[in-house]
Amino acid sequence: MKKEMFRVIDMRATGQNIWRIMDEQGKNVRELQYFFGFESPNAIYKWLHGDSLPSLDNLYALAGFFRTTIDEILVPREKETTLQIMDR
């Protein structure tokens, strides 16, 4: 068994980061809802609360909306996992 570290997306911190970017740019949930053409803001609230992440295409669009990069939106964290090495 071997312990390895790898990066994952911190959903809660990413949601907080989206809130921060929205606040800095004076944007609100309704503007995002209109931009994405969503009937309700539920998906956006799930992103903001860290319950889910935007799909890749929505993340790409979100970066365009904020005039930033995907890397500036996502917040990574290190996660440890145990790998079991199989003999061949």
Pairing between β-strand 2-9 and β-strand 76-83 as defined by DSSP bridges: antiparallel
Give the mean pLDDT of 20-36. 97
* Contact by Cβ (8 Å): 61, 36: yes
Mean pLDDT of 19-31: 98
Q: Quote the tokens at residue 8.
A: 């994952």
pLDDT in tens, 62-75: 999 999 999 999 99
pLDDT at 7: 84
Taking all residues of the chain, what is their mean pLDDT, rounded to a whole number? 92
Confirm whether pTM is higher than 0.75: yes
Residue 46 pLDDT exceeds 70: yes
CATH topology of domain 2-83: 434 Repressor (Amino-terminal Domain) (1.10.260)
Q: What is the DSSP letter of 40?
A: S
